[in-house]
Amino acid sequence: MQPNNPIAPARITSGMDVDDLVCALDGCGFGAGRLAQACDIYEEMLNDDSATKFFGLAGAMVPAGMRNIVSGLIRDGHIDVLVSTGANLVHDILESLGLPHYKGSEIVDDNALHREEIDRIYDVYVPDLHFAHLEEHLLRVFPDMDDHISIREMLFEIGKSLTDPDSILRASYECNVPIFCPAIQDSMIGLHAWLYRQTNPLNVDVFADFNEFIDLYFDSERSGALLIGGGVPKNFILQGMLLTSKGFDYAIQLTTDRPESGGLSGATLNEAKSWGKVSKDAKSVTVYSDATITLPILVAAVRSRLLSV
Amino acid sequence: MQPNNPIAPARITSGMDVDDLVCALDGCGFGAGRLAQACDIYEEMLNDDSATKFFGLAGAMVPAGMRNIVSGLIRDGHIDVLVSTGANLVHDILESLGLPHYKGSEIVDDNALHREEIDRIYDVYVPDLHFAHLEEHLLRVFPDMDDHISIREMLFEIGKSLTDPDSILRASYECNVPIFCPAIQDSMIGLHAWLYRQTNPLNVDVFADFNEFIDLYFDSERSGALLIGGGVPKNFILQGMLLTSKGFDYAIQLTTDRPESGGLSGATLNEAKSWGKVSKDAKSVTVYSDATITLPILVAAVRSRLLSV
Amino acid sequence: MQPNNPIAPARITSGMDVDDLVCALDGCGFGAGRLAQACDIYEEMLNDDSATKFFGLAGAMVPAGMRNIVSGLIRDGHIDVLVSTGANLVHDILESLGLPHYKGSEIVDDNALHREEIDRIYDVYVPDLHFAHLEEHLLRVFPDMDDHISIREMLFEIGKSLTDPDSILRASYECNVPIFCPAIQDSMIGLHAWLYRQTNPLNVDVFADFNEFIDLYFDSERSGALLIGGGVPKNFILQGMLLTSKGFDYAIQLTTDRPESGGLSGATLNEAKSWGKVSKDAKSVTVYSDATITLPILVAAVRSRLLSV
Amino acid sequence: MQPNNPIAPARITSGMDVDDLVCALDGCGFGAGRLAQACDIYEEMLNDDSATKFFGLAGAMVPAGMRNIVSGLIRDGHIDVLVSTGANLVHDILESLGLPHYKGSEIVDDNALHREEIDRIYDVYVPDLHFAHLEEHLLRVFPDMDDHISIREMLFEIGKSLTDPDSILRASYECNVPIFCPAIQDSMIGLHAWLYRQTNPLNVDVFADFNEFIDLYFDSERSGALLIGGGVPKNFILQGMLLTSKGFDYAIQLTTDRPESGGLSGATLNEAKSWGKVSKDAKSVTVYSDATITLPILVAAVRSRLLSV
């Protein structure tokens, strides 16, 4: 228990690159030290060719401007399996169709926004009209789908219909990286699919893509998870491991959710070890901080390291 | 803008009942004032016979000991529609089968817990063996289900199979209160349903209960929502309103999620007004505090008021 | 490690008093269970005649309407030593002079408020004019003070000048309960004292009341601390123990500050054990929740118990 | 209200420097956008020669490894006035005397740590023996002080006694940048000063440095504040402005404290506008994130920009 690893105060120099900064934080405590540790673990996880890489995407990361980072990770082969909320995929389609989000303010009269038909996501605005264009696009895509289709396949078809190379759905389609979205009903994709099937055949079985999902765990020699926020993506990624006798070998959480409220979103990765979802010797760390700040740093730092090899 | 409503400092007396306490907080600021306001809104919502009452249940509320409160609200006619995470329903089944949760500690060696086959949920423990009993029970229930079934119907059948009057699922079955669980795959109910259907017919269409869900909005003259935590239950309840030209007339959030991280879980109810999910004249309030504390207070206070009429 | 204390789901009944509610939460996990535990510890601490009772008051508890609770605890003999931020004392003087705070809104144009000369504290408003009355009052009080005076004595003199029985400062004066306020400069009391001493003798030595403060630790057989929020009051109360070979025997924190940011405000009471500030066998608990909700519950429940003996 | 500033999703490239990263986040929402805005404001503030630069230092930033950043800002002329908690200065002295902090773990048996005489600050350890060396050093410094001394002068003398160029206190001494610490009693510097004056003359008047502090406001044409955390440093810096008819022209907060609990630490900078502490046209932003991550980024980015001019 005797400490032997002195805190090395960070030195900041002009022009330092992001990885230099992360290395400068490596000797620090609190969030700084955890972020540096997350970069080390992520680098090791990406370099481990035997590890299947899971990525959990919750929170409004796409509206906040994080989609190019995610699609870039897919294209670079750093994501083997993506589990997302429906909302992030809906907003990815909007951006892919050239329908941007806008910078706004969280201090605003929301009734006035409603009158102007602008929807707010904290300090990001979306014109409500965008969703009409979303509907038009989906109504063009649905008819090409099989009558019986899984959620994963449905998202694959939507990805095929898009052309924007920065699209998460498109990158996933091109790179054959499966996207799972257990609560697809809980999104505008789901709303429009339901409206469409009022008059057209479209049967989406809840469990149709589950074999494929579970096989990813069984077929993995080792595995790692990068979890952005909590919610269904985190739970679903961790839960799948319960069917195996294995646990994640690498696990990183970037979140602002806290353990004290007891929900799974804020649960520590140690808690996940009690369940066997994360292996007892796993390399794991949680960085409690805004993921729109920490994810770009993590990706910039680790990308530099991988290239410099 | 000139203020005219003085803060009335709370007076606490020995033996005061919960509603007295809430009334004593009514003149206070911050969380105290918001909690009192939530009670007023909830009382008005429950007294509004024209209002359909939605209840969103996220977080690990059942493991924490909140299930009797929820099943009691169902039995009292205070919940017309329940939207839940799968986990809360899984843990409701455990308790209903006489498989309790246990008080534990969040400061513990999780690898040691794993060796002892105890799963941790913050400071609550669940013996892993309980889940074997869960599986046995579900395997007895699944064969009685129709080959084609909706998630709502599946939960109804599970409720029918239980006898514990404090069970959320049982109360929902007896009182014919529908439970929706969009991400059923993301739970042990889902895992076992998937395992069962490997060798048995069981087709669960994602959208099979969506008509029934949406009709609840269209058939409502007015509507109110009590949202415990965020996640899929919150989003799904608010999203349904988008298909109508209405908005919720009453909305209460009990949560520890914050707006600053931008996710839907922590979004303010004002933000929901920009989307039209909550009506511009709605009575709405968010109480930022641990829901295992605020939900019991809310229910105790409002139950007293309803009886005293 | 085998669990043997089952979670007992809370039962809520109409008309239950606050202590009934707390007892109903005693079998629950998360915040509910911690709040019940806090009540048990607080009851035991108040019943322990050998224990000196410290009370730390940070956050804007007085503007929020919590002053009667604190002055009531002083009058009931439940606080032996009060350590407060300056701001809580400033706002106590305002209320004591009949200058109320007002309920307002946190969603407001603050520049408009400024033009109307209204100061905002989250959702509480204070007319700026009130502070002119504060100044007048203090200027009447300062001349009666000794030229050399400690902070503790200064606050005692202010308490003497007030007549409102609900005043914290007045109750402290009448009951001879010392109030310590290490950062008195960091408040309007300090600002006005400084202005006054530009032309009048008023010497306030930083350490003049330190002997008295430290003696309280040495003269205590046992000791307990109820900490509302963090800040200087928490640190100062815990720090004093470092001069002794003892530690607090009882410690309760009601706070929304979290450990992850590393500051003392959010530090766990276990962390305080590593320093010896809290004794290794202390009864201690932190309730992570809005103190404007949990403090009234704690006081109501424990007051009932003490009277029922 | 019509939005016209599209979100520009961040592009991350290998080897990008920190300022590139910040510029890439400039088109994003949530914390990413706010951090980029903070860098813009900080750059403008540092380039404004007419602005007096205040720096508020709360939280355990020095134990976490942030001291070189603060001393560097002093040496670069980017801090004109420092207001700190006592604890940060205590830990600065430790490091300056070659007594390091150590990386530890927040998941640990604190009673075991106590037996090993190791004090914990979240995941940072301090051997208790270090404080004996602190005492020795202070006992060598106190005799050189005037019998009547202000807190600011006392800290100046301590800075003079240190030789470590990375020391905040030393840098402040060399660069003649005043450090104010209103709650000096609430620190080990205070404890030892009190012990010393039991047998030696040492009179520290609370208000002795207040004129000097307030003059800084009156002598400023314009002013800016960078606030790390809340507590006394934030309140004291903002409060000083109340004596003038001015308000801060620039204000940046890096904090994890939230507005909802109502305390001053988490109060928004807009709230400060209602009081007139921040001017109505001020450039201001709060970044809700761990300051051990955001402060290094802010400093690295702005330092690059200043050099590149």
Strands D248-255 and D222-228: parallel
Residue C3 is predicted with a pLDDT of 86
Q: Residues A106-127: what's their mean pLDDT?
A: 97
Catalytic-labelled residue, pool D53, D273, D277, D283:
D277
DSSP D171: H
Q: What's the rounded mean pLDDT across residues A129-155?
A: 97
DSSP chain B: -----B-------TT-BHHHHHHHHTT--HHHHHHHHHHHHHHHHHH-TTEEEEEEE-SSTTTTT-HHHHHHHHHTT--SEEEE-HHHHHHHHHHHTT---EE--SSS-HHHHHHTTEEEETTEEEETHHHHHHHHHHHHHGGGS-SEE-HHHHHHHHHHH---TT-HHHHHHHHT--EE-TTTTSSHHHHHHHHHHTTS--EEBTTTTHHHHHHHHHT-SEEEEEEES-HHHHHHHHHHGGGSS--EEEEEEEE---GGG--STT--HHHHHHHTSEEEEEEEEEEES-HHHHHHHHHHHHHHHHHH-
pLDDT band, very low/low/confident/very high, at C309 (cuts 50, 70, 90): low
What residue ranges of chain B have pLDDT lower than 50?
A: none
CB contact under 8 A, C7 and B112: no
The answer to whether the Cβ–Cβ distance between A288 and C262 falls below 8 Å is no
The percentage of residues in chain D with a pLDDT greater than 90, rounded to a whole number, is 96
pLDDT in tens, B13-27: 988 999 999 999 999
CA nearest C204: which of C266, C261, C157, C167? C157
Q: What is the average pLDDT value for chain C, to the nearest integer?
A: 96
Q: Per-residue confidence at D2, pLDDT binned at 50, 70, 90?
A: confident
CB atoms within 10 A of CB B239: 22
The answer for D247, left when phi > 0, alpha when psi is -120 to 50, beta otherwise, is beta
Question: Taking residues D66-70, what's their average pLDDT?
Answer: 98
Residues of A noted as catalytic: 277
Note the pLDDT tens digit of each residue in C35-74.
999 999 999 999 999 999 999 999 999 999 999 999 999 9
Q: Which amino acid is at C233?
A: P
Let me know: does A233 contact A56? Beta carbons within 8 Å. yes
- Distance of CA B309 to CAs A172, B43, B254, B302, B303, Å? 59, 11, 26, 11, 10
Q: Three-state SS for A86?
A: helix
pLDDT band at A1 (very low <50, low <70, confident <90, very high): low
- Residue D52 is predicted with a pLDDT of 98
How many contacts (CB atoms, under 8 Å) link A and B? 198
Per-residue pLDDT tens digits for D95-104: 999 999 999 9
Q: What is residue B309's predicted lDDT score, i.e. its pLDDT?
A: 57
Of A1, A101, A166, the CB nearest to D7: A101
Q: Which residue in chain A has the smallest CA separation from B232?
A: A186
Can you tell me the mean pLDDT for C71-83?
98
The reply to whether residue B271 touches residue A207, judged by beta carbons under 8 angstroms, is no
To which H or E segment does residue C216 belong? helix C210-218
Give the tens place of pLDDT for each residue, B56-107: 999 999 999 999 999 999 999 999 999 999 999 999 999 999 999 999 999 9
From C31's Cα to the closest Cα of chain A, the distance in A is 7
Please indicate whether, in this complex, the C-beta atoms of C3 and B127 are within 8 angstroms of each other. Answer: yes
pLDDT at residue D308 is higher than 80: no
Which 3 state secondary structure label does DSSP give A44?
helix
- Using CB atoms, which residue from A111, A151, A211 is nearest to B273? A111
State which H helix or E strand residue D32 sits in.
helix D30-47
Kindly list the partner chains of chain B, i.e. chains with 3 or more CB atom pairs below 8 Å: A, C, D
Instruction: Give me the sign of the Cα torsion angle C144, C149, C153, C158.
Output: positive
Give the model confidence (pLDDT) of D82-138 as tens digits. Answer: 999 999 999 999 999 999 999 999 999 999 999 999 999 999 999 999 999 999 999
pLDDT value at A284 more than 80 = yes
Give the residue carrying structure tokens 């620190």: D187
Residue A39: which of A307, A304, A245 has the closest Cα?
A: A304
Confirm if A223 and A252 have CB atoms less than 8 A apart.
no
Beta carbons of A200 and A54 less than 8 angstroms apart: no
pLDDT, tens only, C243-289:
999 999 999 999 999 998 899 999 999 999 999 999 999 999 999 99
- By C-alpha distance, the chain C residue nearest B255 is C289
Pick from B25, B30, B270: which is nearest to C107 by CB? B270
How far does the CA of residue A94 sit from the closest CA of chain D (Å)?
Answer: 12
- In this prediction, the answer to ipTM > 0.90 reads yes
**Structural tokens at position D19:** 């300022």
Distance CA A148, CA A201 (A): 8
Instruction: Find how far residue C234's CA is from the centre of its chain.
Output: 9
Shortest distance, CA A9 to any CA of chain C (angstroms): 16
Listed by start position, the domains of chain B span 50-100+132-291
- Per-residue pLDDT band for C2 (boundaries 50, 70, 90) equals confident
Report d(CA A153, CA C291) in Å as an integer. 49
CATH fit for domain B50-100+132-291, picks 3.40.910.10, 3.40.50.300, 3.40.50.1360, 1.10.3720.10: 3.40.910.10
Helix (H, G, I), strand (E, B) or coil at C175: helix
Query: Cα–Cα distance between A65 and D93 in angstroms, integer?
Result: 43
In angstroms, rounded to a whole number, what is the distance separating the alpha carbons of residues B171 and B72? 8
Interface contacts A/D by beta carbons within 8 Å: 253
Q: What is the mean pLDDT of chain A?
A: 96
Helix B231-240 to helix A231-240 angle (10° resolution) is 130
Element (H or E) spanning A307, and its range?
helix A291-307
Average pLDDT over residues D18-30: 98
Chain A residues in contact with B243 (beta carbon < 8 A): 191
**Can you give the three-state secondary structure of C8-32, one letter per residue?**
CCCCCCCCCEHHHHHHHHCCCCHHH
Whether residue C1 is predicted with pLDDT greater than 70 in this model: the reply is no
Chain A residues in contact with C288 by the CB 8 A cut-off are 258, 260-261
Say yes or no: domain D51-291 is CATH 3.40.910.10: yes
Q: What is the dihedral of CA D158, D159, D162, D168, to 10 degrees?
A: 130
When the pLDDT of each residue in chain D is averaged and rounded to a whole number, the result is 96
The string of pLDDT tens digits covering residues A173-193 is: 999 999 999 999 999 999 999
- Distance from chain centroid for Cα C42: 15
* Closest Cα in chain B to A233: B186
The total of other beta-carbon atoms located within 10 Å of residue D13's CB is 15
